[in-house]
Structure 1
């Protein structure tokens, strides 16, 4: 089997959806003239309204009410094709309803349908074994639930726990300000890959729901793991059960530059797990949240896993792509360099955790952000994510006010962070140390460079072996080893690269296919330290550098009790020092060498 064919099979397998939703089959009840009356179970709809006037809190989409349905709440009919269980759920005074269903365990011979009168708004599920399902919204206040089974129905293999209701004043489609710019206007021409990673989120937090935005994001394995970046204040009080019910709307956008009269089609994915998030508020953190979606977005999503840049470079221009007020996908453009600052602060602070951005007028509008844009990615001029929206003062009324995005560079590995409060562990699982990573559509014609080494720190004269972790139908490899011998290789797995001088050195890998190439540069990836020998010794040690000794350096020696001890330089060559510790007592000592390019320590023994 060719590598090309194998990769295609791998990618297709990666995106298979386990729930065979959208098979376009018909409920059994539609194939028979059944005379039985479907029971109606009605639930009181008591609206829950959250007072959140601030743009910096997501706009409320709706709320949920608890419901409970059992086998006895429906009626069972027997047909030649199988058994049918049906019930009608009424949510009084609702315009649109969805359901949060738990403990779903449909067998191969069972199917679940939800629909309104005359089988309108039909939704179906087949052969699912999952903890949670969040259904899409169905217009109306009476929803029929139907279970079909080849065998006799003695229990219903699911539990409907809650009903979700959109607010009486519909929010979402058509609610964005009139200054916004649709993503398929001319402003979005150069951002057609990036937009496919953006989704509108229906956030569930207890018994309320909100709109937010976010993006699929790539990792250094380039393996299509469904990682999703948004803002921590989106569902800041959500628990694991809530996250499992979050809903992600991909490709919810206008086909052109005009607001359509009716909602366009979209691709829906439900369920997620929290991986890591900012543990402090905007004063002490960057407000990021990283999720893993419950399944890979299928090929029909045309997904794009956006790349990222964790450097602190101030981007001169770029965009954000978002869903203001839960509306269609929009694009906003900045044309002046970002500034580093604290949250909601106009004063420049190089150590700030936020990017301050001011939006610009463009051909088709003056795109800004609104409630519902929270969590949307900020892209630099290279099309890479450098932050996620926390909030700000910009709006269609106050066009020239700033917004603030939590820096990806700070979210990467905050001080005192662990895997639950940083991005590094998840976005660089191979420990490559790269500063940036390109996005990926997982097209089989694409290639992605990646590597690891058996060590990153060596003593002068030692060898290093590199392991290629690149992905794609690769036809050639080009390695550049700064400071190494050999300095160039075209092998897939180069071994025994020797480093004969001290310093920190870059490693570059360029991979190519017949149609594509990718370059991975790992700055200062290899650290080569001087060698000290013999060790142990009678008090004379030779410190070898492999190149000229730096003009300015510091050499200090300490006992294990922390006290500094005296020594002499017996001999100084062009690339070595001979240290005399003959007057020191027998025991262990720490030799600390530092210069502008290197700081290292050695444990030595005097006998």
Structure 2
């Protein structure tokens, strides 16, 4: 294929090596050493819009984006992307005349969207992105910087300037001095982020779970940006032992065996005073790196037999032997940090720039600190070195971000020292998706494949790309999911075998959904009844025409737009939204539609009362597009005159008491009781049975009038402050609307904890049902809901659905469900703790990982009842609920 036209080349400022090397002489030694200068450049393909490079359409259904980059006189180039998402089937390469890096695929997509490449030699390279044409709109790449090398690092000896090599007095780790430390040698790597480099090593934790924790110096890397741009090089070692002090020992070593690991890291904790940083790699180290996780000791007793394993000047791995005892040093004039271990001098080897962050290991092979500073060099054999103390970094600055305690001791064991842990053979892991691209509301199946390792395996699926496990049954190698709205990101699986070895796999997934939203500010409203030009008076009816547009690339199905009075004005004015749910036709991408919103201003409103109606959202029954846009925002005239001849025009729809749920996302729902009020709108009390972020059952309540086919209510969360401390405390945590679109069919929309969503809810059963809601007056705030449905005909025993809403050991609201297939008074009901999906989260099977939670039974005599419970909540939340013949009163009994 022909080279890209030179007009497409992004040219960064040329590198002046002499000037940069001279600048390094003035650079404070308290900073990590540089090898490159960072130049801001810009090329992107975001939201299907391209800046820079050239596109070529290929004949096999693929498209190619090529971005040539040059920085004259550079020894190497490395690239930082501020956005990096490759859709399914896409590949990225870095190429020049002598080297090719890649392919990088969707498996390499980072959660942070930031991505850094390894170094490619020379002063020019071409970034090539091959993508299926059908996925071109999902490609999301933004190139932010090129790091143009002026100092030779990680280049073959045939190309490298010997003056940049490490000192000849250093000792190769393959030499006999390294024999007692073979395991620890495999823990150490070269760390490169953007234009700087250091050393670092893997460390163990008290769970012994081989989490890829990497210790280094704070003066090397102390920001999340630096962590996200981290590239780790393993196994960069001399294959032969060169005599320390010889000419050969002062020459560069080929990098053929070095293994680059991309993906970046999370910054866990960094503490300036001890010059200590702890990172967690976002991906597992490559299997062929044969890594080791160093043990550690956080005590402050002096010790001997210490060694340092490091990469001086990012050169091949070396080992240095400390002379005598290592002592405490709190000298504030030593450079970076304050709290150090001091090595008086080395009996063999030395440390140099680039060695920073390497570990100080004691005679028991445990990490005690990381290299901070020193006066060491081959020509300063008596120079000392200072290492930031793990013992100080343990509690650091007293916060999770400035200490390492909770990361190295996640078990909370209080251990002061632990041994190292060998890596293990990673289970070969694959992840298959039943489709690479789906629509919201569609079901997709994720299946993990595993080979090698030691069976049995456990599986943890992450379906929303946050890095946390979502699946609830670790024995399941396959799960199904339904997405509530559009999304693009990576799903992944973590497989752990019986030996604790971890394998991972990750795939990109595109979830498409319509996005029907407000197109423009609505025009002035039109009076439908009670005309008064330019003013709004109590008792008038109005119409606002609302323009909607489908902003998505996919068409929408026919659905509804939901409107509601703004919650902040509910106590200030009374409106009747005559059309709270307005039908919206199917819309192609970019298509608009105008719909009518009709509303009446109650004649009892005072002059100056606020009139505000919001577009709550739109739904086609498969996805919900939330909105907070105001479509009516005005006031009743300050000189108003009430009109009494324009009553609101509504057709009441039926809402039966019972349980309702979203058929696409079963396992949670809302149980409503419609309580008639004499001379007023009925009051609807709802118990919303749903899940929390950990997919443990939780519940909320709503209570408001059913007015003009809509309930517009706060969302309440109850909490028990202590197991026997009644009454509960209740707080408003959001808002919800129950908007009827047909008899016994409604859209349930909500805003909760900063999120918003909704769905189409239908009855649990269309069979005739009897609904009962029970509570105990002395323990108000918990209760039992049951629904008896004649599933098998009017003469058969009813099926009983039961839900008990109560509290766990911490006082958080929880619920259990039970089904009695042959209901009889006093018959035991087995309670189940299911694993429901949280509002707005990806739906997973709520029966996966469900647990038995004990039993309960009723005795009922008309409107009087007793309940006995012997319930134990799952250990993840904890608590019991034991009651014996507790009297119950009906909050609601259906006729």
TM-score (norm 2): 0.42
Distance 1:250 1:256 in 2: 17
1:334 aligns with 2:315: no
Cα shift at 1:216: 0.8
What is the CA deviation profile of residues 296-344 of structure 1, one whole-angstrom value per residue up to 9, with x for unaligned ones?
A: 2121221111110112221121200011112111110024111222247
1:193 aligns with 2:176: no
1:129-278, aligned counterparts within 5 Å? 129-130=109-110, 131-151=113-133, 154=136, 156-167=139-150, 169-171=151-153, 175-204=165-194, 209-236=195-222, 239-258=223-242, 259=249, 262-270=254-262, 271-278=264-271
Distance 1:179 1:202 in 2: 24
Instruction: Report the counterpart of residue 283 of structure 2 in structure 1.
Output: 295
What is the CA deviation profile of residues 57-76 of structure 1, one whole-angstrom value per residue up to 9, with x for unaligned ones?
A: 33221121111124353131
Distance 1:57 1:150, change over 3 A: closer
1:458-477, aligned counterparts within 5 Å? none
Identify which of 46, 57, 67 aligns with 2:41: 67
SS for the counterpart of 2:191 is strand
Tell whether the 8 Å contact from 1:357 to 1:402 is kept in structure 2 after alignment.
Answer: yes
Tell whether the 8 Å contact from 1:115 to 1:145 is kept in structure 2 after alignment.
Answer: yes
1:45 aligns with 2:13: yes
Cα shift at 1:231: 1.0
Distance 2:67 2:380 in 1: 51
Instruction: Report the counterpart of residue 65 of structure 2 in structure 1.
Output: 85
Please identify, of 69-78 and 285-294, the stretch whose mean Cα deviation from structure 2 is larger.
69-78
Q: Say what the alpha-carbon RMSD is for the aligned residues.
A: 2.9
Instruction: Report the counterpart of residue 841 of structure 2 in structure 1.
Output: none
Distance 1:440 1:182 in 2: 23
Distance 2:34 2:67 in 1: 30
Distance 1:145 1:203, change over 3 A: closer
Cα shift at 1:37: 5.0
Cα shift at 1:391: 0.7
Tell which structure's C-alpha radius of gyration is larger: 2
Cα shift at 1:50: 4.8
Tell whether the 8 Å contact from 2:323 to 2:343 is kept in structure 1 after alignment.
Answer: no
Cα shift at 1:406: 1.6
Tell whether the 8 Å contact from 1:220 to 1:437 is kept in structure 2 after alignment.
Answer: yes
Cα shift at 1:172: 5.8
Cα shift at 1:289: 1.0
1:359 aligns with 2:345: yes
SS for the counterpart of 1:277 is strand
Instruction: Report the counterpart of residue 308 of structure 2 in structure 1.
Output: 320
Tell whether the 8 Å contact from 1:52 to 1:59 is kept in structure 2 after alignment.
Answer: no
Instruction: Report the counterpart of residue 103 of structure 2 in structure 1.
Output: 124
Distance 2:253 2:268 in 1: 38
- Quick one: higher RCO (CA 8 Å, sep 6+), 1 or 2? 1
TM-score (norm 1): 0.60
Distance 2:199 2:3 in 1: 47
1:441-590, aligned counterparts within 5 Å? 441-443=422-424
Identify which of 434, 437, 452 aligns with 2:415: 434
Cα shift at 1:152: 5.0
SS for the counterpart of 2:200 is strand
Tell whether the 8 Å contact from 1:200 to 1:250 is kept in structure 2 after alignment.
Answer: yes
What is the CA deviation profile of residues 547-604 of structure 1, one whole-angstrom value per residue up to 9, with x for unaligned ones?
A: xxxxxxxxxxxxxxxxxxxxxxxxxxxxxxxxxxxxxxxxxxxxxxxxxxxxxxxxxx
Cα shift at 1:36: 7.8
Distance 1:331 1:370 in 2: 12
Distance 2:213 2:3 in 1: 49
Distance 2:55 2:258 in 1: 34
Cα shift at 1:154: 4.8
Tell whether the 8 Å contact from 1:38 to 1:75 is kept in structure 2 after alignment.
Answer: no
Tell whether the 8 Å contact from 1:254 to 1:264 is kept in structure 2 after alignment.
Answer: no
What is the CA deviation profile of residues 372-400 of structure 1, one whole-angstrom value per residue up to 9, with x for unaligned ones?
A: 11111000001110111111112111111
Tell whether the 8 Å contact from 2:198 to 2:311 is kept in structure 1 after alignment.
Answer: yes
SS for the counterpart of 1:243 is helix
SS for the counterpart of 1:187 is helix
What is the CA deviation profile of residues 446-484 of structure 1, one whole-angstrom value per residue up to 9, with x for unaligned ones?
A: xxxxxxxxxxxxxxxxxxxxxxxxxx99xxxxxxxxxxx
* Structure number with higher strand proportion: 2
Tell whether the 8 Å contact from 1:83 to 1:153 is kept in structure 2 after alignment.
Answer: no
Cα shift at 1:46: 4.8
Structure 2: any 5+ residue segments left out of the alignment? 45-49, 156-161, 243-248, 427-453, 456-497, 500-895
Tell whether the 8 Å contact from 1:57 to 1:371 is kept in structure 2 after alignment.
Answer: no
Distance 1:53 1:101, change over 3 A: closer
Distance 1:157 1:39, change over 3 A: farther
SS for the counterpart of 2:292 is coil
Tell whether the 8 Å contact from 1:101 to 1:132 is kept in structure 2 after alignment.
Answer: yes
Distance 1:256 1:81 in 2: 49
What is the CA deviation profile of residues 181-215 of structure 1, one whole-angstrom value per residue up to 9, with x for unaligned ones?
A: 111111111111101111111134xxxx2221111
Instruction: Report the counterpart of residue 57 of structure 1 in structure 2.
Output: 31
Cα shift at 1:96: 1.3
Tell whether the 8 Å contact from 1:359 to 1:367 is kept in structure 2 after alignment.
Answer: no
Tell whether the 8 Å contact from 1:56 to 1:371 is kept in structure 2 after alignment.
Answer: no
SS for the counterpart of 1:158 is strand
1:102 aligns with 2:70: no
Distance 1:133 1:142 in 2: 19
Distance 1:386 1:233 in 2: 17
Instruction: Report the counterpart of residue 359 of structure 2 in structure 1.
Output: 377
SS for the counterpart of 2:92 is strand
Tell whether the 8 Å contact from 1:116 to 1:122 is kept in structure 2 after alignment.
Answer: no
Cα shift at 1:438: 0.8
Tell whether the 8 Å contact from 1:104 to 1:129 is kept in structure 2 after alignment.
Answer: yes
1:113 aligns with 2:71: no
Distance 1:399 1:297 in 2: 35
Tell whether the 8 Å contact from 2:76 to 2:121 is kept in structure 1 after alignment.
Answer: yes
Tell whether the 8 Å contact from 2:154 to 2:255 is kept in structure 1 after alignment.
Answer: no
Distance 1:380 1:304, change over 3 A: same
SS for the counterpart of 1:425 is helix
